[in-house]
Structures are given as structure tokens and as C-alpha cells.
Amino acid sequence: MTLRRIAATLVLLLALPVAGTAQEPLRLVVNADLGEHTINRHIYGHFGEHLGRNIYDGFWTKAGTGDWHLRDDVIEALRRVQIPNLRWPGGCFADYYHWEDGVGPREERPTMVNALWGGVTEDNSFGTHEFMELVERLGADPVVVGNVGSGTVKEMADWWEYLNHPGGSTLADRRVGNGHPEPFNVRFWGVGNESWGCGGAMTAEHYADVYKRFAEFVRPIGDVRPFRIATGPSEDMYDWTETMMRDAGRLLDGIDLHYYTVVGTWENKGSATDFTEREWFIAMQKARRMDELITRHAIIMDRYDPDRRKWLIVGEWGMWHDVEPGTNPGFLYQQNTLRDAMVAGLHLNIFNSHAARVRMANLAQTVNVLQAMVLTEGDRMILTPTYHVFDLYKVHQDATLLPISLDAGEYAFEGETIPAVSASASRDAEGGIHITLVNVDPGRAHSVQAEIRGQAVSSVSGRMLTADALNAHNTFDRPDVVQPADFDGAQMSGSMLTIDLPSKSVVVLELR
């Protein structure tokens, strides 16, 4: 080889990235014979709020028949992803909501102005019994959020009794008269929402006292013991967590952290569909912050609750963009692209990894609002890329989290870097192993060399979600632009698994 040739080869070699090339795959170790924590299925939960077209048009419609009814198409779609729970009636709306307005004959129910969300008239046609029928048909657990901000202790205690007392009290008999003889046996109970903001703008110390007063009167009825959930912090309000754990820990079972992925500022969040690679990069960077937030809040909780009996709940999460141009700004309607799907995959991997402390999470808000699972228009419905991620990931529900170590590689953009690959692994009741992987790098495939330790595996199969464009999304005219396909980029050889992970992809593998 001439000197010139050697020099040229050297330059070429130096120019190659150090990891993630075909020569040097990223390394993943899955400890298939270890694992002590269950990934609670409630991590895969959802959120219904009287906001925009979430309830009305979303779950509850007049389309087709002219009379109010639950949407079969939405219910069927959510059943397919095994929706484990639905939080309701808010969000901020919960602290405006008076449950008695929403029971009894529909034509006699009072109306109210939903001053918070678009100033529209709320006719209360969707109330307690409609919600309970919805969750029953979904096969999901109800998560009811009571009104602290504009409600009273008695109002909340009455609702609890109305729902759960078997009979023989005026409230229970009213439920029977309204068509439901059996108690509903609701367990998950939110005591207010965002009480530091729209739920009453309280300080942590003040809310801790208010919380105890409300929570004290939501008491066990028969076998139904309330699982009481306190308003938790927004993002990095670590003092809030500290105060609640210190002052109200005795009476709380869960604490509800909220964190949204906002690319720009709250005033100018950025478009859901029209964005640059910079805005893609920022979305991934900000989504990953969830890991740090959970870690830090969990450290505080560990001090007061070392046995991890209390749940850290991420009761609201997801991407929050500017509303779709031409739609009511108070309705928070937004489209959903491959970028949202990546963010969903990252979050779910993060939640899984904290399974010992994070036992419930709720994506905001299921239908037609923020990072929705499905969008509706009249009697039509489409599935979003985010929906497909929940479909791929449902295999983790109630499975055992497997400890992994991952060399995540790097996604570099304009001088900054974030990890390129995220992963999570679990073992189901039949011994099947599932690995979910997200490659957020939009310009580079990554090869991953995985070692499966402690369990013999003979076959691998997979599904993948990707698309050509960063902003690929489904519309009512083209509903299948982004949808999962079979993935044949994984090969097993002994205990070694080679995965060729395409750029901007979410992959689930099943090992048997």
C-alpha cells in the first residue's frame, strides 16, 4: 500500500463515528433470569376530560342515531390496546365539576358553561353513569378525580358513597333509582387536580392540610378501600413532593406528577405537523427529561416510604403542540405524527424502567385532545401513530421488568448529543421475552448486538413502526400512512441477538 493510500484510509477511519456502525454495534444485555418488579398495567393508562371534543364527539356522540350514545369504534380500538384505566372528569375540569349535575334523567340535568375550555355549554349528558358504563365496556378501571377547588368535603364524600355504598342510604338508593342497583366499586380516587394551579393555586403546605381534610372523609365502604391520590408536582416542583410526603403521607396512596413535552414555549409551542429536525431533536431531548424528574421525585419518596408502597403516578403526560390551525383554541385539538410516536415509546420505556415506583400513568387525552390515541370526525375515526406504539407495547402490561444494560449510542445534532436508542425488556407469565426499542436518530440506522442472559431462546419475531417523513401522520383521507409492519431485522444465534434498527423507528421483539 502506498503512503498516500494509507493516509487516505486513516482519514476515512477517523471520520467514522465510534459506535453504531456496522463495524461496532451498540451493545445490549438483557438479564432474562432476573427481575423483581412487575410493570403495572396501569402505566399504560389514559385520560378523559370534558375538554374540546374529548368526551363530546370523542367517547360520546350523536353521530348516526341523533341520540347521545357511547362510540363503539373508539371503545373497540381502545380495548385492542388493553386500556387498563381511564382518568375522569379532568384535569382542570375536575375542580369545576359538580357530580350531582350529571346524574338522573338527562333532560333534567342542569347545564353549565365550560369557562375553562372554549366557553362552550356543557349539557352534563355525560355524567357518572355514562362514565361507568364506558369503563365497563372498555374493561378498564375508573380513576375518578373529585372536586377540591370549587367543591366541598361533603360533596366529595357524597359522590364516593353514591358510587360505592351497596344500598340502604339515601345516596345509594338514589343510584339504585338511577338504574344501577349494584355499587360501582370505584377504588382510584384523585383528591383534586393541579391544586398548585388551576385547582386552587394553593401552596404545598396549604394543600397538604386541605388534602387531609378531604381525604379523611373518603372512607372505606365494606371491602372497597379508597386508593387516595394527591395532586402531585408539576415537573421539578420537588418541594411539593417533599411537603406532601412529610405532611400528608399517612393519608395518601399515590402522588400525581404532571409533565408535558413542549418543544417551544407555553405561548408558542410549535406546530404538531410542520417542524424542522431541530424541533424533532428538542422533542426527544425534552421527553427524556421524564427520566430525571421521576428519579428525583422518587428519591424524595424513598426517604419517607422506603418500602415503596406509595405510587408515583404520572397522571398527565404527552406532547403539547399549538392547536390545529382553524380549530377552537380552547379545544386543544392537535395532529399526531411519527415524532409523537417516538416520544410515546421513550416515555413508556422510562416508565417501565421505574416500575418499582411508577405504577400508573395517563396519557393526555385519549381522543381529539393533545397527544391523542384516536381522532374522530363525525362518525369516522382514525388511529394515530401514538396508538400504534401503545399497541406494540401492550405486551409489557403486568409482565416482569428485566434488568438491562444498554450502550445507547449518540444522536448528534448541531453540536449537541442525546442517546440515540432507548430500550426496555420484560418477561410475561408464559416466559416470553419482549424487548421494545426506540431509535430517535432520524438519519442513522443502528445495529444492536444483544446478549440474552439466563434463558435459552430459539425464535425471534418483531413488529416495527416507522415512516419516510419525520412528520408522517394519518388523516381521514389517508388513515394508514403510519402503521406497524412486520420487522425482519432481528436474528438470533445462540444467546446473541442482532438487531438492525432503522432510523426513526419503534420496534418490539418477541423472543420464545
The least distance separating ligand AHR from the CB of residue 344, rounded to whole angstroms, comes to 16
The least distance separating ligand AHR from the CB of residue 318, rounded to whole angstroms, comes to 8
Of 57, 130, 141, 316, which lies in the binding site for ligand AHR, with binding defined by CB under 6 A?
Answer: 316
Closer Cβ to ligand AHR, 49 or 410, answer by number: 49
Closer Cβ to ligand AHR, 127 or 315, answer by number: 315
Query: What CA–CA distance (Å, rounded) separates 361 from 357?
Result: 11
Nearest to 60 by CA among 131, 141, 112, 120: 131
Closer Cβ to ligand AHR, 92 or 395, answer by number: 92
447-506 residues in contact with ligand AHR (CB under 6 A) are none
The least distance separating ligand AHR from the CB of residue 336, rounded to whole angstroms, comes to 15
92 binds ligand AHR (CB under 6 A): yes
Using an 8 Å Cβ cutoff, are 50 and 93 in contact?
Answer: yes
What are the cell numbers at 308? 415503596
Closer Cβ to ligand AHR, 173 or 235, answer by number: 235
The residue type of 122 is E
- The total of other beta-carbon atoms located within 10 Å of residue 185's CB is 15
Please name the residues in contact with 213: beta carbons below 8 A apart, sequence gap of 6 or more.
153
The least distance separating ligand AHR from the CB of residue 264, rounded to whole angstroms, comes to 17
Closer Cβ to ligand AHR, 258 or 339, answer by number: 258
Query: What CA–CA distance (Å, rounded) separates 458 from 273?
Result: 42
The least distance separating ligand AHR from the CB of residue 58, rounded to whole angstroms, comes to 14
Residue nearest to ligand AHR (CB): 91
Dihedral of alpha carbons 420, 39, 72, 51, sign: negative
- The total of other beta-carbon atoms located within 10 Å of residue 321's CB is 29
State how beta strands 374-377 and 358-364 pair: unpaired
**CB half-sphere exposure, 427, CA atoms < 13 A:** 21
316 is catalytic: yes
Coil, helix or strand at residue 391: helix
Query: What CA–CA distance (Å, rounded) separates 285 from 415?
Result: 14
Among 10-18, 87-95, 170-178, 220-228, the segment contacting ligand AHR (CB under 6 A) = 87-95
Of 20, 58, 89, 90, which lies in the binding site for ligand AHR, with binding defined by CB under 6 A?
Answer: 90
Q: Which residue out of 316, 410, 414, 416 is catalytically annotated?
A: 316
- The total of other beta-carbon atoms located within 10 Å of residue 392's CB is 25
The least distance separating ligand AHR from the CB of residue 500, rounded to whole angstroms, comes to 38
In degrees to the nearest 10, what's the CA dihedral of 162, 164, 166, 167? Answer: -10
Q: How many residues touch ligand AHR (CB under 6 A)?
A: 11
Q: In what order do the strands lie in the sheet with 404-406?
A: 404-406, 26-31, 446-453, 496-501, 490-493
What are the cell numbers at 281? 431533536
Coil, helix or strand at residue 429: coil
Closer Cβ to ligand AHR, 53 or 427, answer by number: 53
Nearest to 471 by CA among 495, 500, 442, 430: 442
The least distance separating ligand AHR from the CB of residue 315, rounded to whole angstroms, comes to 8
270 binds ligand AHR (CB under 6 A): no
DSSP state of 38: B
Closer Cβ to ligand AHR, 91 or 151, answer by number: 91
Among 89-97, 238-246, 299-307, 418-426, the segment contacting ligand AHR (CB under 6 A) = 89-97
Closer Cβ to ligand AHR, 193 or 353, answer by number: 193
The least distance separating ligand AHR from the CB of residue 90, rounded to whole angstroms, comes to 5
323-382 residues in contact with ligand AHR (CB under 6 A) are 364-365, 370
**CB half-sphere exposure, 333, CA atoms < 13 A:** 20
Query: What CA–CA distance (Å, rounded) separates 440 from 422?
Result: 8
Of 49, 57, 122, 410, which lies in the binding site for ligand AHR, with binding defined by CB under 6 A?
Answer: 49
Closer Cβ to ligand AHR, 61 or 193, answer by number: 193
Q: Which residue out of 130, 155, 161, 194 is catalytically annotated?
A: 194
57 binds ligand AHR (CB under 6 A): no
Determine which helix (DSSP H) or strand (DSSP E) holds 208, and give its type and residue range.
helix 204-216
Query: What CA–CA distance (Å, rounded) separates 384 from 371?
Result: 9
* Residues 169-208: x where in contact with ligand AHR by CB under 6 A, - otherwise, as a string: ------------------------xx---x----------
Q: Is 116 exposed, middle or buried (0-12, 13-18, 19+ CB in 10 A)?
A: middle
Of 91, 142, 232, 442, which lies in the binding site for ligand AHR, with binding defined by CB under 6 A?
Answer: 91
CA distances from 349 to 39, 119, 243, 474, 484 (A): 11, 37, 29, 24, 18
Residues that bind ligand AHR (CB under 6 A): 49, 90-92, 193-194, 198, 316, 364-365, 370
Active site residues: 194, 316
